[in-house]
Amino acid sequence: MIISTGTASGKSLAYLTPAVTSCLDGGTVLYLTPTKALAADQLRGLRELRITQLRAACFDGDTPFEERTWVRQHANYVLTNPDMLHRSILPRHAQWSSFFRRLRMVVVDECHGYRGVFGSHVAQILRRLRRVCARYGSQPVFLLASATASEPGAFAMRLTGLEMAEVTSDGSPKGATTIALWEPPLTELRGERGAPVRRTATAEAADLLTDLVLAKVRTLAFVRSRRGAETVALTARAKLADVAFSLAGTPIGGSSSTAFAPAGGNPGALPLSGGHAIPPERDISPLPSAPHPGSPDHDVPMASRDHRPSLSSPTQDTHPAFSTPPPSDQGTRPAPSTRSTTTPLPDQGTAPPGADQGTLSWGASVSVPESESVSESESADWADLPDRIAAYRAGYLAEDRRLLEKALRSGSIMGLATTNALELGVDVSGLDAVLIAGWPGTRASLWQQAGRAGRDGQEALAVLIARDDPLDTYLVHHPQALFGQPVEAIVLDPDNPYVLGPHLCAAAAEIPLTDADLPVFGPTTPNVLDDLVTEGLLRKRPAGWFWTRRERATDLADIRGGGGAPIQVVESATGRLLGSVDEPSAHTTVHTGAVYLHQGETYLVELLDLEAGVALVGGAEPDYTTFARDVTEISVLASLRSHDLGPGSLHFGEVEVTRQVVSYLKRRLQSGEMLGDEPLDLPPRTLRTRAVWWTLPASEVATLAQEGFDLGGAAHAAEHAAIGLLPLFATCDRWDIGGVSTELHADTGLLTVFVYDGHEGGAGFAERGYARATDWLTATREAIASCECERGCPSCIQSPKCGNGNEPLDKRGAIHLLDTLLRSASAAS
């Protein structure tokens, strides 16, 4: 069964009740989650039940080795993740024999996180689990849960290989959430080819996070990358330190005084982090009236409710004494373009009758009443302001992550900058606002992240801050693409031979494969087994297929990466191991000269040694970040499907891609200003994958050339924008896909634009693009045309990973090229 209802609708109770009952009846339960944070949160909830017969325990990478034996022998409710199931539990199933014999239920929580190549790996891990259970005579019920799954029954059946019933009715009460679409302003800086540069989403997120924390609005800021999360937290903490310094040095008192009141102190004005109040015409009202600290449903200590500041106060200038100069590379923040709508999240009902519909004005200042002043003891607490903000991401020690989660729940931390590690299910009730720095990849993730706020039925604020990216720009100008639309179908392909093959080897190592096992793993299993025997990975005997090598079969499948041994990141001065990066990502993330961020510390990569599998880094404090660029060649192996698209043709098939990282860009952290392009010497990588591509006949191309358009630049610009927009139609990230365009391709003999899956064997993204080509390319055309730049910029046709330095590009040519391609297609539709 799959339960697919909204955030905080009671899904946990729905599976906990039968799961705990199974344990009380002598059975066992296996709970799977994509993240360790969610497992730890669930364990906390189970222990709060105080049921002595319930022996719940986590079994993941954070579990001490001395505790693992106890978990195997005594726990009856085991919380783990697909990685541990794949690498530890299934290969050592004999040590878990007592647990598997009594296994009654497998809970797969937040199952919408299993998509793309990762989801395909998890699908095969679940099939291996079913096979091991059968070996010990158990047939557990699989119960899946998700707040945002499209066609949940069909998806769950593809994930588990089992028939599925679905529960989708959601009657839980929800407060209204105000969604603000926030587009950072263009700056006076110029990037490649003189294109205007927008203020970065991380810089905007840091400012907004600071302002909200000063307003005592408990906030979670989701940032796309680990480095970005660290940067937002560090920047916001520095801004709070500036505010604290200016306040601590200013005498407080009298009717004209304004001040920030520390927790438990007298509330005063809310000075802006950037040192500039936003005048009334820049107010983005109406924003939500989140229940204010000090109200009965908020647990942050405050002064008496009679004197709490009002977030719906009119905007006024901040007192000059509390202004702090903005960083020199940012200047005064111009008013961003914003669009806002007050809407319940999907399937989440509406605000309760009589709910307060006040507004929150950025930059609002509230004067301390004449009868009150802030004492010296309270002003001493201003120094603690920066400690109200922290970063959270994977890679931290387990105890550090648990402390941060606890501090956010208790209110001792008011703002947390995080990756999507806190997106899934962790109970952080009491949040008032969520900032989302950059489109999170899918509508499902957007609603999941927005649903982190207002989990107690209160009203909440969610702000989507657009990056300098074609898709982000398109969405803030086309809200209809977000609101009133179903979440995306979850794409996964368990039959991908590059996924299936390693798991068949792992399954054979666990228990030799027989003919009776083949239907469990899918229809392509016989052919893949033949290939594995030919390659010498498996041996065929009359009794079945056997793994005969001495290596661990599970090492063949890197379920979260792209294959290959991970690259170890080592501090050169001390020899300390900082972390690891999967081998395919190493070329772009830890190349020589790359900026590497780890737990708030910034490092520069001194050397990447691919043969030794080591990246040496040294401590540094650069004021820039780095982006790798590559060049790509592509050849067509087979066209599997094709049809006419306007005067051209659309194809889907198999391709071979050769990519080589050739250089990296250096861009200033806060402003995005380009500082240089440094060459690199890295070996090329070959990828056999699947792609969607379209061609135009020579007659149409000749017409465009006669009109004076640069054909290569037009195709190149259309390719960049198409890559940027495909994630709106396929459940993927821009970095999961790549593209190539050429005025005359050797295999097609025509002007051709390719967009391909960036994973061996394909991941289903290009296939989704093929299925929705007209909608996808129409949105691509609109995204280019609606951008206010003249010749092209990162918001429409420029790409940060273009190996050709974004040359040539022809914005007007791309619009005409897409108009030509869509002319007949639009009429037909």
Average per-residue pLDDT for the chain: 79
234 has pLDDT over 80: yes
732 has pLDDT over 50: yes
Q: How confident is the model at residue 396 (pLDDT cuts 50, 70, 90)?
A: low
Q: Which residues contact 207 (CB under 8 A, 6 or more apart)?
A: 236, 239, 273, 274, 333
Question: Which range among 57-71, 89-103, 395-409 shows the weakest confidence by mean pLDDT?
Answer: 395-409
Residue whose C-alpha is closest to residue 427's, from 393, 452, 400, 458: 452
**Higher per-residue pLDDT: 421 or 700:** 700
Q: How confident is the model at residue 696 (pLDDT cuts 50, 70, 90)?
A: very high
Q: How confident is the model at residue 236 (pLDDT cuts 50, 70, 90)?
A: very high
User: Considering the entire predicted model, what is its pTM?
Assistant: 0.66
Question: CA–CA separation, 98 vs 161, rounded Å?
Answer: 25
316 has pLDDT over 70: no
pLDDT tens profile 740-768: 999 999 999 999 999 999 888 888 889 98
Q: How many helices (H) and strands (E) does the chain have?
A: 22, 29
pLDDT tens profile 321-374: 222 333 333 333 444 444 444 444 444 333 333 333 332 333 323 232 333 344
pLDDT tens profile 640-690: 999 999 999 999 999 999 989 999 989 887 676 788 889 999 999 898 999
Predicted pLDDT of residue 565: 66
Cα torsion through 776, 781, 783, 786, rounded to 10: -150
Question: Which range among 243-257, 340-354, 430-444 shows the weakest confidence by mean pLDDT?
Answer: 340-354
Predicted pLDDT of residue 638: 94
Q: What interhelical angle do 698-706 and 811-828 show, nearest 10? A: 140
* Overall average pLDDT of the 105-114 stretch: 92
pLDDT tens profile 154-184: 999 999 999 999 998 888 777 788 999 999 9
Structure-token pair, residue 124: 């095969």
Q: Which residues contact 706 (CB under 8 A, 6 or more apart)?
A: none
pLDDT tens profile 446-488: 888 888 887 666 788 999 999 888 888 888 888 988 888 777 7
3-state secondary structure of 414: coil
Mark 771-785 as b/e (b = at least 16 C-beta within 10 Å). Answer: bebbebbbbbbbbbe
Cα of first residue to Cα of last residue in the chain, in angstroms, is: 38
CB 515 within 8 A of CB 126: no
Give bridge partners of residue 190 from the DSSP assignment. Answer: 196
Q: Which residues contact 820 (CB under 8 A, 6 or more apart)?
A: 646, 647, 648, 696, 700, 703, 704
